[in-house]
Chains A and B, each alone.
Chain A
Amino acid sequence: MARMNMIQAINSALDVLMDRDPDIVVMGEDVGYFGGVFRATAGLQAKYGKTRVFDTPISELGIIGVAVGMGAYGLRPVPEIQFADYIYPGLDQLVSEAARLRYRSAGEFTAPITVRSPFGGGIFGGQTHSQSPEGIFTHVAGLKTVVPSTPYDAKGLLIAAIEDNDPVIFFEPKRIYNGPFSGHYDRPAKNWSQHPDGEVPEDYYRIELGKARVVRPGADLTILAYGTMVHVAAGVIEEQGIDAELIDLRTLLPLDIETIEASVKKTGRCLVIHEATRTSGFGAELSALVQERCFYHLEAPVERVTGYDTPYPHSLEWAYFPGPVRIGEAIKKIMKD
């Protein structure tokens, strides 16, 4: 075991897999010599060479498009999109192409690509370095969407994502690259070295896609979250001393519905948290599923705490961020009924 932050864990996942599988190629803006603006691919070009780890032109359309073509040849590309906010020029290649290639060719061609991209706010990045666009991708038939919340999970999930034969969008919550975040932006930052999930095996291991993690068992309330918000929720649970069951979804699609259903049937209450905007967000899907499957067990309406339906503001970042105050209020409301 080694101590790793999330960036090192992602780097380790790429390293372990590239060593095992010569068909894996890593590419993206600034990922080669420099090793990525967040350093997630540091050292890989030196180790695996320029034809397996390389910089690309600044064209997200091109990056994803050539990844689809390389996948069609038989490679297993892992393109990086520098920020999730910049994935949109590549949307057509993802939505119309990667996602449907298997279907339209009846399985003859596939797109075994994993698009890694840092996402989410909390770093004063303004509207173009803060977005959480996962709901756009979960809405597309044929794409899988994964969001890790710890270094341990990031490595295991990334390995499973790359080995998956379908296209996977792998969103990395950049706010927690270096350490977990309770949502109290005015408190000193923590790093992963103090956290049990900063222990990461140096070797190969997988965390199957489609399996949620019960972060903390509880009897009174189920909280569904992913990415940064898992840590914010955990902080609120601790501060309030409530007996909530916190579930880290880890994979949004395919979703671990069994874990969710079992938990809500046990607790009778459900709170959904995400940083993304509210309307038509992934929380709407979760809320509908819980309502459809657990209606007769519910003691209160399913609540959502999300980003507001505005672009991500710069100076008012902390008023926008669905932090401990809003989560605390929502819990009070659910528990009242």
Chain B
Amino acid sequence: MSTRPNLPPLRLHVPEPKFRPGDEADFGDVPIPAAGATPRPAVDSAPAAFHDLAYGLVRVLDEKGRAVGPWDPKLSPDTLRGILRAMAKTRAFDERMYRAQRQGKTSFYMKCTGEEAIACAQAYALHRDDMCFPSYRQQGLLIARDWPLVDMMNQIYSNKGDRLAGKQLPIMYSTREGSFFSISGNLATQLPQAVGWAMASAIKGDTRIAATWCGEGSTAEGDFHSACTFASVYRAPVIICVVNNQWAISSFSGFAGAEATTFAARAIGYGIAGLRVDGNDALAVYAATEWAAERARTNQGPTLIEFFTYRAEGHSTSDDPSAYRSAQEREKWPLGDPISRLKQHLIALGEWDEERHAAMDLEVANEVKAAQKDAEKNGILGHGMHQPMSTMFQDVFETMPWHLEEQRQEMLAEAKAAGIETS
């Protein structure tokens, strides 16, 4: 220790969220700019020209459900209904699969409740063959791209129909055909990979771009910073999305740096375009993504988008948020619910009503229920209907080296001796 009488003792700052269990939640001090107030820079303007946008909030839907301002993407009613349906289906899917886990049909599940606008509206703004490198909370991408629900459920159940052969934890989907990269359980690893995919696309003179997602908590990983550096250096045609849902398991966004600045502002240091967007406003999400995609497609380089949203449910089926945050936060969240807001907009346009909404909810619930029934014919986790045991040794390498072949034989022989069913 060195103490000098003319200097104060140093102090460590440890962030603390505003509300803990039992606290009255009040987000009155969260600055929410009015819808339509944020300017929309030309797609070819230099990132340095719009630093302000990293501290603002792109919003299109106002309190009355009207689309206002320069970011209004002016979507057709059919597209709006498509996005709404994708969001509703995602929520119904989450409900059902969460319940399936609680019923012991699988080991694990994660919902994206409250964050549906992000993946669903983005899927509409991207091309079907733009390559997505998601985290575990963008199931909406697959659902909005009409990927078969049964296929997703087979993966969740690790059953005989699972294309990933039961090798991966539930919800860690992978589909090349769906332009959806294999999800990793290790946070943020997908970010530099997306940049690399985009660089490859540029090397080859392709026209497809890449998009990637991580939570605000994950921006602390080195991978995020490497991704931004490479994206900046090579002006990679990539969209880096930070889903700021305020929480990373029990740690609030302050532990990823949110007390000091925004996540969009990270872009400024890397010299890339940065936008901060109302993540519960499907139109703002669509518009920002479309804008970033156009930049990428026209060789203007990468964009970092922070989607400001709220994780309405627990982190996963292994989590109980009542142990660390105020139960009121969800209802008090100032940006509302993405489904209700788009619904309100469509109704304000005269393109939707309560009856049609209720009918849609019923339809998607039935669709999910029917898919579940089909998927369960292929089995649920831990009830024998898994893939043959020897699949365990497949896909470690392209061709099986001697030691794996030997281990495979040994496993089968021992299982046989013990009377265990291997196929």
Q: Which A residues are closer than 8 A to B by beta carbons?
A: 29-30, 32-34, 37, 50-51, 54-62, 85-86, 88-89, 124-129, 278-279, 308-311, 313-316, 319-320, 325-326, 329
Do residues B392 and A316 form an inter-chain contact, with CB atoms below 8 A? yes
Do residues B318 and A310 form an inter-chain contact, with CB atoms below 8 A? no
Interface centre among A57, A61, A309 (most CB of B within 10 A): A57
Within 8 A of A (CB), among B2-43: 12, 14-16, 20
User: Would you call the interface of chain B mostly helix, strand, loop, or mixed?
Assistant: loop
Given contacts A125-B169, A315-B166, A315-B387, contact A308 B185 (CB under 8 A): no
From the candidates B14, B159, B185, name the one contacting A50 in the complex (CB within 8 A).
B14
Residues of B contacting A314 in the complex (Cβ-Cβ under 8 angstroms) = 107, 158, 166-170
From the candidates B255, B318, B386, B387, name the one contacting A57 in the complex (CB within 8 A).
B255
Residues of A contacting B204 in the complex (Cβ-Cβ under 8 angstroms) = none
B172 sits at the interface (CB 8 A): yes
From the candidates A88, A125, A309, A315, name the one contacting B403 in the complex (CB within 8 A).
A309
B218 sits at the interface (CB 8 A): yes
B147 sits at the interface (CB 8 A): no
Do residues A34 and B407 form an inter-chain contact, with CB atoms below 8 A? no
Question: A316 vs B186: C-alpha distance in the bound complex, in angstroms?
Answer: 21
26 contacts between A and B (CB under 8 A): A29-B248, A29-B249, A32-B14, A33-B250, A37-B250, A50-B16, A51-B14, A54-B14, A57-B257, A58-B255, A59-B221, A60-B221, A85-B185, A86-B186, A89-B223, A128-B169, A128-B184, A129-B169, A129-B185, A309-B396, A311-B167, A313-B392, A314-B158, A314-B168, A315-B159, A316-B389
The smallest beta-carbon distance between B280 and chain A, in angstroms, is 24
B187 sits at the interface (CB 8 A): yes
The smallest beta-carbon distance between B196 and chain A, in angstroms, is 18
From the candidates A51, A55, A127, name the one contacting B255 in the complex (CB within 8 A).
A55
Do residues B414 and A29 form an inter-chain contact, with CB atoms below 8 A? no
Do residues B108 and A124 form an inter-chain contact, with CB atoms below 8 A? yes
From the candidates B16, B159, B407, name the one contacting A308 in the complex (CB within 8 A).
B407
The smallest beta-carbon distance between A316 and chain B, in angstroms, is 5
Do residues B324 and A34 form an inter-chain contact, with CB atoms below 8 A? yes
Of chain B, the residue at the smallest CB distance from A86 is: B186
The smallest beta-carbon distance between A64 and chain B, in angstroms, is 12
B126 sits at the interface (CB 8 A): no
From the candidates B16, B169, B248, B381, name the one contacting A58 in the complex (CB within 8 A).
B248
Do residues B166 and A316 form an inter-chain contact, with CB atoms below 8 A? yes
Question: A315 vs B323: C-alpha distance in the bound complex, in angstroms?
Answer: 31
Do residues A55 and B251 form an inter-chain contact, with CB atoms below 8 A? yes
Number of A-B contacts (CB under 8 A): 139
B64-84 vs A, CB cutoff 8 Å, 1 = contact: the mask equals 000000000000000000000
Do residues A325 and B418 form an inter-chain contact, with CB atoms below 8 A? yes
From the candidates B16, B222, B323, name the one contacting A34 in the complex (CB within 8 A).
B323
Residues of A contacting B16 in the complex (Cβ-Cβ under 8 angstroms) = 50
Question: A226 vs B236: C-alpha distance in the bound complex, in angstroms?
Answer: 48
Question: A125 vs B168: C-alpha distance in the bound complex, in angstroms?
Answer: 9
B217 sits at the interface (CB 8 A): yes
B241-284 vs A, CB cutoff 8 Å, 1 = contact: the mask equals 00000001111000111000000000000000000000000000
Of chain A, the residue at the smallest CB distance from B318 is: A37
Residues of A contacting B248 in the complex (Cβ-Cβ under 8 angstroms) = 29, 58
Do residues A127 and B411 form an inter-chain contact, with CB atoms below 8 A? no
Interface size on B, residues (CB 8 A): 54
Do residues B250 and A58 form an inter-chain contact, with CB atoms below 8 A? no
Residues of A contacting B403 in the complex (Cβ-Cβ under 8 angstroms) = 278-279, 309
B314-343 vs A, CB cutoff 8 Å, 1 = contact: the mask equals 000010000110000000000000000000
B415 sits at the interface (CB 8 A): yes
Question: A279 vs B406: C-alpha distance in the bound complex, in angstroms?
Answer: 13
Do residues B186 and A85 form an inter-chain contact, with CB atoms below 8 A? yes
Do residues A88 and B186 form an inter-chain contact, with CB atoms below 8 A? yes
Do residues A51 and B12 form an inter-chain contact, with CB atoms below 8 A? yes
From the candidates A129, A278, A315, name the one contacting B407 in the complex (CB within 8 A).
A278
Do residues A313 and B166 form an inter-chain contact, with CB atoms below 8 A? yes
Residues of B contacting A58 in the complex (Cβ-Cβ under 8 angstroms) = 187, 217-218, 220-221, 248, 251, 255-256
Residues of B contacting A33 in the complex (Cβ-Cβ under 8 angstroms) = 20, 250, 324
Question: A325 vs B411: C-alpha distance in the bound complex, in angstroms?
Answer: 10
User: 5 closest Cβ contacts across the A-B interface?
Assistant: A128-B185, A315-B166, A126-B169, A57-B220, A315-B158
B348 sits at the interface (CB 8 A): no
Of chain A, the residue at the smallest CB distance from B218 is: A58
B404 sits at the interface (CB 8 A): yes
Question: A34 vs B252: C-alpha distance in the bound complex, in angstroms?
Answer: 11
B386-416 vs A, CB cutoff 8 Å, 1 = contact: the mask equals 1101011100100000011001000100110
Question: A58 vs B323: C-alpha distance in the bound complex, in angstroms?
Answer: 20
B203 sits at the interface (CB 8 A): no
Question: A309 vs B392: C-alpha distance in the bound complex, in angstroms?
Answer: 10
Residues of A contacting B221 in the complex (Cβ-Cβ under 8 angstroms) = 58-61, 89
From the candidates A60, A311, A315, name the one contacting B386 in the complex (CB within 8 A).
A315
The smallest beta-carbon distance between B25 and chain A, in angstroms, is 16
Question: A316 vs B164: C-alpha distance in the bound complex, in angstroms?
Answer: 12
B417 sits at the interface (CB 8 A): yes
The smallest beta-carbon distance between A325 and chain B, in angstroms, is 5
The smallest beta-carbon distance between B412 and chain A, in angstroms, is 10
Of chain A, the residue at the smallest CB distance from B254 is: A55
Residues of B contacting A86 in the complex (Cβ-Cβ under 8 angstroms) = 186-187
Within 8 A of A (CB), among B129-148: none
B39-64 vs A, CB cutoff 8 Å, 1 = contact: the mask equals 00000000000000000000000000
- Extra contacts, 10 of them, besides A29-B249, A124-B381, A126-B185 (Cβ < 8 A), are A29-B251, A58-B217, A58-B220, A59-B220, A129-B185, A279-B403, A316-B166, A319-B411, A319-B415, A320-B392
